[in-house]
Amino acid sequence: MNTETQHRKRGRPSMYSPVLAAVIVARISAGESERQICSSEGMPSVQTLNAWKNKHEDFLADTIKARKKASMQYDKRRAALLDRFMAVSKDIYASGRAIPDELTKTYKEDIQRLAREAGLRDDRRFSQRKRIEGCAGQLEEEKAAARKAARKEVERMEEAETFLKAAKWKRMNSWRWR
Residue 4: pLDDT band with limits 50, 70, 90: low
Other Cβ atoms closer than 10 A to 156: 14
Residue 133 to residues 21, 115, 128: CA-CA distances in angstroms?
22, 24, 14
* pLDDT of amino acid 171: 63
Residue (of 116, 123, 25, 35) closest to 66 by Cα position = 25
Do the domain assignments include residue 9? no
Asked whether the predicted pLDDT for residue 12 surpasses 80, the reply is no
User: What's the mean per-residue pLDDT of the chain?
Assistant: 80
Cα(175)–Cα(178) distance, integer angstroms: 5
Asked whether the predicted pLDDT for residue 84 surpasses 70, the reply is yes
Q: Which residues, at least 6 apart from 171, have a Cβ–Cβ distance to it below 8 Å?
A: 98, 99
Number of domains in the chain: 1
* pLDDT of amino acid 48: 92
Cα(153)–Cα(145) distance, integer angstroms: 12
Highest mean pLDDT among 22-26, 85-89, 117-121, 153-157: 22-26
Do the domain assignments include residue 160? yes
The residue range of the domain holding 29 is: 16-123+136-177
Do the domain assignments include residue 129? no
| Per-residue model confidence as pLDDT tens digits over 106-133 | 998 998 888 888 888 875 653 344 455 5
Do the domain assignments include residue 24? yes
Do the domain assignments include residue 130? no
CATH number at residue 54: 1.10.10.60
Asked whether the predicted pLDDT for residue 152 surpasses 90, the reply is no
Report yes or no: 122 and 68 within 8 Å, Cβ to Cβ.
yes
**Of 10 and 39, which is predicted with more confidence?**
39
Q: Which residues, at least 6 apart from 117, have a Cβ–Cβ distance to it below 8 Å?
A: 31, 74
* Chain centre to alpha carbon of residue 156: 19
Do the domain assignments include residue 159? yes
Confidence (pTM): 0.62
Do the domain assignments include residue 2? no
Do the domain assignments include residue 27? yes
| Per-residue model confidence as pLDDT tens digits over 24-36 | 999 999 999 889 9
Asked whether the predicted pLDDT for residue 175 surpasses 70, the reply is no
